[in-house]
Amino acid sequence: MPLRRSAARVILVDEADRVLLFRGWDPVTPEVRYWFTVGGGLRDGESAAEGAAREVAEETGLAVTPADLGAPVWRDVAEFPFDGHRYRQEQVFFLLRAPAFEIDTAGFDPVERRSIDTHRWWTVTELVAADEPVYPRDLPELMARLLSPAGGEIGGAGAAVADGKGIHSC
C-alpha cells in the first residue's frame, strides 16, 4: 500500500515563458533520470501555499510569500516509487512568474543533494521534445493553457482550479 502524502508544486515561469525544472532520479534506480517542477511534500500544519513558498526558497533561493503564489492552477494525484517506498501524492500546483535568475540550490536537503544533478529553463516546445520524462506528464499542455492569452489571470485570486486527468504513475 502506498504511503500517502500531500505536496505543493510550483510552475515557475520566467519572462521568456520558460519553466524551471530540476533533473533527478530515484536513488534506487539512478540510471533513470526525469525532470520535475519545483516543490515537495508539505510539513504538518502547513498550507499548500506556505509549503510552495518554502520549497521555492529552499530549492531556488528565491524568497516569495504564499500571497505571491495566488490560487492553485491545477491539482492531480501521482503514484511513484522513491528510495524504496511507493507514494501516492496529492499535488497542488501554483503558477509563479519571475524574471530568470541564478538558481541557488544551497537549501536542498540531503535527499535532494543526492538525487538531483541539474536544472534548466524549458520552453513548451522543448518540453514536448524532451528525451527524458517530464513530470507532471501533462505539463506541456498545462503550460500552453496557462500561457495562452485566453489563460487570463490564472493563478491570481479567485482563479478556477483545473483538475488533472486522474491518477498517473511515474
Average the pLDDT over each of 13-27, 28-42, 121-135, 145-159 and give the range with the smallest value: 145-159
Give the tens place of pLDDT for each residue, 67-80.
999 999 999 999 99
Name the band, by pLDDT with cuts 50, 70 and 90, for residue 82: very high
Contacts of 170 (CB under 8 A, 6+ apart): 34, 78, 79, 80, 81, 133, 135
Smallest CA-to-CA distance from 92 within 6, 4, 2 is with 6
Domains of the chain: 3-169 (3.90.79.10)
Average pLDDT in the 106-110 region? 96
| Across 88-105, average pLDDT | 96
